[in-house]
Structure 1
Amino acid sequence: MALSCILTCEHAGNDVPAPYEHLFKGEEEVLYSHKAIDFGAFRLAKHLAEKLQLPLFSTSCSRLLVEPNRSLDSGELFSKYSKALSEQEKQKVLAQYYFPHRQQVEANVQSEISKGNHVLHLAVHTFTPAQEGEVRQADIGILFDPDRTLESSFAAQLEEALRSLNPSRKVLFNAPYAGVEDGFPTYLRTRFTDDQYAGFELEINQKFFLQGEPEVWEQVVDEMTEAVKSLLLPKG
Structure 2
Amino acid sequence: MKKPFKRSIAAWPNPCLKDSSLYLKPIQLLFTCEHGGFEIPPEYASIFSGATQWLKSHRGWDEGALDVANSLAHHFEAELVYSQISRLVVDLNRSIGHPRLFSSWTKPLRSEEKQKILEAYYFPYRDRVFQSIKQKIDLGFLVLHISVHSFTPVWKQKRRTTDIGFLYNPHREKEKIFCIEWRKIFHHHFQKLTIHLNRPYRGNTDGFTESLRQSFLEKNYLGIELEINQKRLQSESRQKILQSLIQSLKKCLEEFNLQEK
Provide the TM-score with structure 1 as the length reference: 0.95
Q: Which runs of 5+ in 1 are unaligned?
A: none
Q: What is the one-letter code of the residue matched to 1:230?
A: K
- Aligned partner of 1:64 in structure 2 is 88
- Aligned partner of 1:78 in structure 2 is 102
Would you say the 8 A contact 2:59–2:88 is kept in 1? Answer: yes
- Aligned partner of 2:122 in structure 1 is 98
Is 1:51 the counterpart of 2:43 in the alignment? no
> Matches of 1:27 and 1:9 in 2, distance apart?
23
Q: What is the number of equivalent residue pairs in this alignment?
A: 233
> Matches of 2:75 and 2:88 in 1, distance apart?
31
- Aligned partner of 1:87 in structure 2 is 111
Q: Using the TM superposition, give the Cα deviation of residue 223 of structure 1 relative to its aligned residue in structure 2, in angstroms.
A: 0.8
Q: What is the one-letter code of the residue matched to 1:175?
A: R
> Matches of 2:151 and 2:52 in 1, distance apart?
21
Would you say the 8 A contact 2:174–2:222 is kept in 1? Answer: yes
> Matches of 1:89 and 1:145 in 2, distance apart?
34
Is 1:231 the counterpart of 2:255 in the alignment? no
- Aligned partner of 1:193 in structure 2 is 217
> Matches of 1:27 and 1:163 in 2, distance apart?
39
Is 1:208 the counterpart of 2:232 in the alignment? yes
Q: Using the TM superposition, give the Cα deviation of residue 150 of structure 1 relative to its aligned residue in structure 2, in angstroms.
A: 1.3
Of all paired residues, the percent bearing the same amino acid is: 36
- Aligned partner of 2:150 in structure 1 is 126
> Matches of 1:2 and 1:143 in 2, distance apart?
22
Query: What is the RMSD of the two structures over their aligned residues, measured on CA atoms?
Result: 1.2
Q: Using the TM superposition, give the Cα deviation of residue 28 of structure 1 relative to its aligned residue in structure 2, in angstroms.
A: 2.4
Is 1:13 the counterpart of 2:34 in the alignment? no
> Matches of 1:27 and 1:170 in 2, distance apart?
34
Which of 125, 129, 152 aligns to 2:176? It is 152
Would you say the 8 A contact 2:190–2:241 is kept in 1? Answer: no
> Matches of 2:108 and 2:186 in 1, distance apart?
44
Q: Using the TM superposition, give the Cα deviation of residue 136 of structure 1 relative to its aligned residue in structure 2, in angstroms.
A: 0.8
> Matches of 2:164 and 2:69 in 1, distance apart?
14
- Aligned partner of 1:220 in structure 2 is 241
> Matches of 1:15 and 1:147 in 2, distance apart?
36
Cα distance per residue 1:55-90 (max 9 Å; x no partner): 100011000000000001101110000011111111
> Matches of 1:129 and 1:34 in 2, distance apart?
10
SS across alignment from 1:168? coil
Is 1:169 the counterpart of 2:190 in the alignment? no
Is 1:28 the counterpart of 2:52 in the alignment? yes
Would you say the 8 A contact 2:151–2:227 is kept in 1? Answer: yes
Q: Using the TM superposition, give the Cα deviation of residue 124 of structure 1 relative to its aligned residue in structure 2, in angstroms.
A: 0.2
> Matches of 1:28 and 1:139 in 2, distance apart?
27
Provide the TM-score with structure 2 as the length reference: 0.87
> Matches of 1:25 and 1:83 in 2, distance apart?
16
> Matches of 1:41 and 1:197 in 2, distance apart?
22
> Matches of 2:84 and 2:50 in 1, distance apart?
22
> Matches of 1:230 and 1:165 in 2, distance apart?
11
SS across alignment from 2:108? coil
SS across alignment from 1:98? helix
> Matches of 1:166 and 1:29 in 2, distance apart?
33
SS across alignment from 1:46? helix
